[in-house]
């Protein structure tokens, strides 16, 4: 296995960019790695950190479908409740006149 592909090496290179503010172009030249590779590693690192800090969870398609169905049911119930309240408003308004 190539030394450059180990997770430890990737983390080292990413931290040089993220924490020390080194430029990907400069590191690519110094380390003999493609600039696009370094940028991809940095993007993957930042995406993973965003997931960890924000608590983002990936949802399976089945879960997404279930959540959409639940949302639609709640939306229909609220629309029905809203229609009933509108009718009641007109009934009470007529009684006051």
Under 8 Å between Cβ of 63 and 78: no
Q: How confident is the model at residue 1 (pLDDT cuts 50, 70, 90)?
A: very low
Q: Which CATH number fits domain 1-57: 1.10.10, 1.10.287, 1.10.8, 2.160.20?
A: 1.10.10
Under 8 Å between Cβ of 38 and 17: yes
For the chain, what is the mean pLDDT?
A: 87
Residue 31, both tokens: 């380390």
pLDDT of residue 72: 96
Under 8 Å between Cβ of 13 and 38: yes
Quote the CA–CA distance of 48 and 11 in Å, as a whole number: 12
Kindly report, residue by residue over 44-62, the tens digit of the pLDDT: 998 888 777 776 677 788 8
Q: What is the mean pLDDT of residues 64-84?
A: 95
Q: What is the mean pLDDT of residues 60-72?
A: 91
Quote the CA–CA distance of 72 and 62 in Å, as a whole number: 15
Q: Could you tell me the pTM of the whole model?
A: 0.52
- CA proximity to 85, closest of 93, 95, 73: 93
pLDDT exceeds 70 at position 4: no
């Amino acid at each position: 296995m190539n030394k450059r592909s180990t997770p430890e090496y990737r983390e080292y290179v990413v931290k040089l960019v993220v924490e020390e503010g080194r430029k990907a172009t400069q590191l690519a030249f110094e380390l003999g790695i493609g600039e696009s590779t370094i940028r991809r590693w940095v993007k993957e690192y930042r995406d993973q950190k965003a997931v960890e800090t924000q608590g983002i969870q990936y949802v399976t398609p089945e879960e997404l479908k279930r959540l959409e169905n639940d949302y639609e049911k709640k939306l229909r119930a609220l629309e029905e409740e809203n229609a009933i309240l509108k009718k009641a408003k007109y009934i009470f308004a007529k009684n006051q006149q």
